[in-house]
Amino acid sequence: MLAVYVLASVGLVLAVKQLAYRRSHRISRHGRSLRTPPGTLPVVGNGLKFLLLDRQTLFDWFSEVHNDVFGFETYEISVPTLPPGIVISDPEVLEFVMKKEGSEGFGKGPFFEERSWHLFGHGIINASGQLWKMQRKAGNKFFAGSHLQVLVDEVFPVFWQRAKEELDEAAETGKVVDMEELYLEFTTRVMGRVAFGMDLSNSHPFSAAFDYASDLTGLRFQNPLWKVNYYLFGHKFRKAVSIVKSFGNEIVRLAVCRRDLENPSEKSNPQTNDDESGGDLVNMLLDAVPEHHVVADSAINFLSAGRDTTANSMTWMLHLLLEQPSLTNYITDELPPSGDFHTYASLSTALTPKSHAVFLETLRLYPPVPFELKQTLNSAGMTLPDGTVLPHESVIVWCPYAYGRSKKIWGEDAYEFNPERWIERTGDEAEKLKVRSAAEYPVFNGGARSCLGKRMAEVMGVWVLSESLREWEFEEVEKVGRRRSRNSLTLPMEGGLKVRVRKRNMPAL
């Protein structure tokens, strides 16, 4: 009872403070206030919607409001305790925001940094300025080298072996397999190798702690009272974060020991990692960033950026292909004729345009980063191309999930899964992958902070789906209507993807 009273009082005080703040930081367009979405209430604004709706329902709401009410018009949302905010849906406006990244324009800002600080710390996802630049440079170096080719040609086949055994066993025994878990195990192992140079399994206590901390961090962006939650009931969250941090620090300590043993003479000047040597990211970060605790945060950030996002994409891809089995040949037609694994070379978009089309189309409908925000960092404020005037620290929200379902961008069939929309046929019937701008298709963000792992995600998604569909057929155990996502930082499938498996060309189940 006391807790309820404290919560209510704190909420009220913050709401009053917020009203005063809003008066002095008014967002306008051509001298007038912006429209607000249907259902906006006096004082609490859209706060209840953000607090009470689960994330999936909120994403659907963003899509409906865009398609049915505002179109490309920028509108205002208000949530007590939060700075004034707008929602943008116009690709031209988003392009402007992406291009103006930095202290003179837009950036993550205190709104994002505060909420993700406990989990992401000084890592690349949360950092700005020099600290961000150093990590970005190390990441660029890693992905520009031969690492991706080594991953595809050498690491994927080894790590896929466990999945293959599990699927073979399931085909023989009739055991049900959760493909979301199976894919997550694969991506955890790949990202463990990329980020830490180690074999990391999903059953490691780090993974459970990391999942818990990520889910709660995701909810902080919706809950205006997250701080109260954290201080009153945050024990389990604090414990999870401490497990994640200790793990990161231990990995860095071991990496430093390894380097010292291998190069004892270079202890004080550890510029030892050759970018073509096949080393892992943690070593490249150690070369680029002097403080070891920042390297630990950074490695965790890279793992976080790549692990769940890629597993999400594979799970939704398989689900959508099971819904429309006639489209499976988009992937199987492009398998290497020799019966071998795809190589990095055979996974070029020129050689596998249709498989890439399935990947891109899946992410259009189910973007693993479904919700994005920035803040106006320029102390003088900013004016958007549509004339919206934003005071300092205004929050700009866009929803890649709603962009993907925009009828104005994708046409009347925007809600349908149709990989064909990505295929361009030239005169001689050759197929080519269509390119869409980051502002129309913001699944991997754009501008200076675009996703560093986009190519890795593409090759991983296509490789894994090719291997899945080459050998097995799948049948969802329960057809539960339209699948939904579960609350998280990314877009995992609620309930997982449980399937029965059989070897291709075997008698029916």
Binding residues for heme: 451
Helix axes 156-173, 179-196, angle to 10 degrees: 160
CA distances from 112 to 118, 184, 370 (A): 11, 26, 15
Among residues 136, 164, 227, 436, which is the contact residue for ligand HEM, using CB under 6 A?
136
Whole-number Å distance between alpha carbons of 438 and 458: 15
Q: In the bound complex, what is the minimum distance in angstroms from residue 363's beta carbon to ligand HEM?
A: 6
Q: Are strands 395-398 and 85-87 parallel, antiparallel or unpaired?
A: parallel
Scanning 259-267, 379-387, 440-448, 500-508 for contacts with ligand HEM by CB under 6 A, the matching segment is: 440-448
Structure tokens belonging to residue 20: 């005063």
Q: Which residues pair with 76 in a beta bridge?
A: 86
For residues 65 and 89, the answer to whether their CB atoms sit within 8 Å is no
Q: Return the residue matching tokens 């070379």.
A: 345
Whole-number Å distance between alpha carbons of 115 and 463: 35
Among residues 131, 456, 465, 493, which is the contact residue for ligand HEM, using CB under 6 A?
456
> Among 371, 361, 367, which Cα is nearest to 462's?
361
Nearer residue to ligand HEM within complex by CB, 77 or 452: 452
Among residues 180, 372, 393, 473, which is the contact residue for ligand HEM, using CB under 6 A?
372
Q: In the bound complex, what is the minimum distance in angstroms from residue 124's beta carbon to ligand HEM?
A: 5
Cβ-closest residue to ligand HEM?
A: 453
Among residues 77, 167, 443, 465, which is the contact residue for ligand HEM, using CB under 6 A?
443
* 440 lines the binding site for ligand HEM (CB under 6 A): no
Which positions make up the binding site?
451
Nearer residue to ligand HEM within complex by CB, 145 or 234: 145
* 248 lines the binding site for ligand HEM (CB under 6 A): no
Nearer residue to ligand HEM within complex by CB, 310 or 375: 310
What radius of gyration, in Å, describes the C-alpha atoms of the chain?
A: 23
* 402 lines the binding site for ligand HEM (CB under 6 A): no
Among residues 453, 493, 499, 502, which is the contact residue for ligand HEM, using CB under 6 A?
453
Residues 112 to 131 in contact with ligand HEM, rule: CB under 6 A:
124-125
> Among 363, 350, 338, 369, which Cα is nearest to 465's?
363
* 382 lines the binding site for ligand HEM (CB under 6 A): no
Nearer residue to ligand HEM within complex by CB, 124 or 177: 124
Q: In the bound complex, what is the minimum distance in angstroms from residue 358's beta carbon to ligand HEM?
A: 13
* 317 lines the binding site for ligand HEM (CB under 6 A): no
In degrees, rounded to 5, the angle at the alpha carbon of residue 440 between the alpha carbons of residues 463 and 391 is: 125
Q: Phi-psi category of 74—alpha, beta or left, where left has phi over 0 and alpha has psi -120 to 50?
A: beta
Contact code string over 66-85 relative to ligand HEM, x by CB under 6 A: --------------------
* 446 lines the binding site for ligand HEM (CB under 6 A): no
* 133 lines the binding site for ligand HEM (CB under 6 A): no
For residues 419 and 330, the answer to whether their CB atoms sit within 8 Å is yes
* 139 lines the binding site for ligand HEM (CB under 6 A): yes
Nearer residue to ligand HEM within complex by CB, 136 or 421: 136
Q: What is the DSSP string of 22-59?
A: HHHS--EETTBPPP--TTPBTTTBTHHHHHHS-HHHHH
Whole-number Å distance between alpha carbons of 84 and 25: 7
Structure tokens belonging to residue 248: 């990161």
Scanning 161-169, 220-228, 365-373, 410-418 for contacts with ligand HEM by CB under 6 A, the matching segment is: 365-373
In degrees, rounded to 5, the angle at the alpha carbon of residue 218 between the alpha carbons of residues 216 and 221 is: 110
Which residues lie near ligand HEM (CB under 6 A)? 124-125, 136, 139, 302, 305-306, 309-310, 313, 363, 367-369, 372, 443-445, 449, 451-453, 456-457
